[in-house]
Chains A and B, each alone.
Chain A
Amino acid sequence: MGQIEVQNVRKVYRRDRFEVPVLDGLTLSVDGGEFVALMGPSGSGKTTLLNLIGGIDQPTSGSITVDGVNTAQLKSGDLSKWRARNVGFIFQLYNLMPVLTAEENVALPLLLVKGMSGKERKERARHALGIVGLGERLDHYPRQLSGGQEQRVAIARAIVTDPKLILADEPTGDLDRSSADEILGLLEKLNAEFKKTIVMVTHDPHAAEKAHRLVHLEKGVLSANGATA
């Protein structure tokens, strides 16, 4: 699962007295278990589309449905709960809590799982860190990790609640080629082995090649939509 339907979505930001249209009637469909790369120049609306799919922003008009749930109609509190259960986020700059260890960072989303004991949270966090190959760095703080390792912790945090959907916003944008390849390999693994639906924003054609499908945005509309080579 993790099927996404974006229907005729418009998104307009208001900056003081100006209206800035970012997405203009965009329609997109992502199948469950698909790995989609979103590309396009800066300001084309890639991250905005990702945010709308992930429910951290609301469209000005149109609908976004994930596994039959129209997230545009959910109230703030319900949307938070929905995100906690269904979406894993990976950011370009990792966005880990600097005061928490790798294990604590990964366990953070599990605080929202009702009835889960501290012991179970630890076990699941360790398991997730094991999947990304950081089982030996549980007690390390983000500042004690390399960029690639930090991003792997972020991936572990994204998958620890076992969401159907993973949204990655330029996950390799701040990494060297070798680390980027490791991260892309992990995303492929999550998609292939764990059947996660992945939508990834990237500027990097090399990263985009790992996806099943490439979606190009230009000034808020789809300019190309097709399978990667």
Chain B
Amino acid sequence: MELLPLVWTNLMRNKLRTILTTLSVFVALFLFVLLHGITDTLTASTQVASERRLVTRNKISLVFPLPMSQYEKIKAVPGVSAVSWSNWFGGQDPVDSRGFFAQFAVDAKTYFPLYASDIEIAQASPAPAGTPVPPGVDPKLAAFMNQRDACVVGEKLLLKRGWKLGQTIHLNGTIYPGSWPYVIRAVYRPKIKALDAETMFFHWDYLYEKSNRQAQVGIFIFSLADPSQAATIGKRVDAMFENSSNATHTETERAFQAGFVSMFGNIPFVIQVIGLAVAFSIFLVAAVTMMMAIRERTNEFAVLKTLGFGDGSVFLMVLAEAGAITLTGGLAGSLLAKFLLERTGLMVPGFSTMIVRWDTVLLGIGVAVLMGAFSGLLPAWQASRLKIVDALRKVG
């Protein structure tokens, strides 16, 4: 403890070098945590999906639709408590065609009750008193429910695009060509942080009325009375359509969501490898810097040892210098990465709001501590093993 002021003084003797080394560690740990944040986000997006809900899609591929006729059959399966469906729309905002956000045509009267525990309605256009809403649907959605071209958008999406409640927006359809007007009648807010707040929902009826296509379904979503029966019920549903031209594949919503993440292939692994490579290269920089700093002070360490400072004291002093640099840089880099990713609304397209788990921040700080320990270890050992007589370089 007594040596701490000396450690600080030594760190300040070459301020530029200390600042640059700290900055390099800062950047390394910032990138490390940022890259891990992406994998955190991908993982979180699967975790928020429910094990209580099952998703049925076309067995061949998600891009092939299912017939509406399957709805009643699924509904009739024992253990299925509620069924809804949705279609991917794939529209583009003509104002910002590269600004991706997801849009789903949903059967609102069954869809929103299914997700009542996951989202809440933050804003909604007022509806005339006494406007009916289907059972289980939030009464705030009355105006939306009673307007064919109405839509519900996520709170973040509304803010990001500068939209307002009651505004009419237009999307250009890519799967369903044409210009599609929508009136924003409600804004939802996820109750779970990791849940996406940048999605738009509109009426499935509107999709098929305006497109003049045969009514088909993208996926069926259904809740279960007993989640432990998920595997059995899933198999039962798939068995019903096994020999039809529209065979299905049923899985939990979490597994369905995880399937999207797996489309990224080994990107999470690659990201982690890149993060570690960055951290390792900066570790080498820090180690070389520490060795240079120690070599410059060989004579001073010899004097300290002459005065009676033991090998252990000198060892700890050098290690503390390395640790102070890497811990400061690591702490700042890791925390800033978390703050920037979570507060500035940066997103991985198609996934929920960016999330950096505290575990990841702690991992970053841990890497910084290890970086300090390892970069300081060799110079500290060299300094502690220094022979006073050799270091003073004088034989009379």
B396 contacts the other chain (Cβ, under 8 Å)? Answer: yes
User: In A42-69, which residues have CB < 8 Å from any B CB?
Assistant: 42-48, 50-51, 54, 56-57
Query: Chain B nearest CB: distance from A158 CB in Å?
Result: 9
Could you tell me if B300 and A77 are in contact, using CB atoms closer than 8 angstroms? Answer: no
Interface string of A76-91 (1 = CB under 8 A from B): 1100110111000101
User: Interface size of A by Cβ–Cβ distance < 8 Å?
Assistant: 38
B229 / chain A contacts, CB cutoff of 8 Å: none
- The answer on a CB contact under 8 Å between A85 and B389 is no
Find out whether the CB atom of A112 lies under 8 angstroms from the CB atom of B309: yes
Name the interface size band of chain B.
Answer: 20 to 34
Cβ contact of A22, chosen from B13, B308, B395, cutoff 8 A: B395
CB of A28 closer than 8 Å to a CB of B: no
Picked from B299, B308, B309, B396, the residue with its CB within 8 Å of the CB of A201 is B396
> Which residues from chain B contact A50 at a C-beta distance below 8 Å?
396
The smallest C-beta distance from A118 to any residue of chain B, in angstroms, reads 9
**Candidate in B3, B6, B307, B396 with the most chain A CB atoms within 10 angstroms:** B396
**Hey, which chain A residues are within 8 Å of B9, CB to CB?**
99-100, 104
A111 sits at the interface (CB 8 A)? yes
A108 within 8 A of B: yes
| Residues of A with C-beta under 8 A to B394 | 47, 92, 169
Give A100 to B392 CA distance when docked, in angstroms: 19
Is the beta-carbon distance between B12 and A45 smaller than 8 angstroms? no
Tell me if A192 is interfacial: C-beta within 8 Å of chain B. Answer: no
Q: Is A1 an interface residue (CB 8 A)?
A: no
Report Cα–Cα, A217/B12, bound state, in Å.
44
With an 8 A cutoff between CB atoms, is B278 at the interface?
no
The one of A47, A76, A99, A111 in contact with B396, judged by C-beta atoms closer than 8 angstroms, is A47
Q: Give every chain A residue within 8 A of B395 (Cβ-Cβ).
A: 13, 22, 43, 47-48
Q: Is the CB of B308 within 8 A of A81?
A: yes
Q: Kindly list chain A residues whose C-beta atoms are within 8 Å of the C-beta of B179.
A: none
B10 within 8 A of A: yes
Report which B residues bind A (CB closer than 8 A).
2-3, 6, 9-10, 12-13, 299-300, 303-312, 388-389, 392, 394-396
**What are 10 A-B contacts defined by CB distance under 8 Å?**
A43-B395, A51-B388, A56-B305, A77-B311, A81-B308, A89-B306, A100-B9, A104-B9, A108-B6, A109-B307
List the 4 closest A-B pairs by CB distance, nearest first.
A84-B308, A47-B396, A46-B396, A56-B388
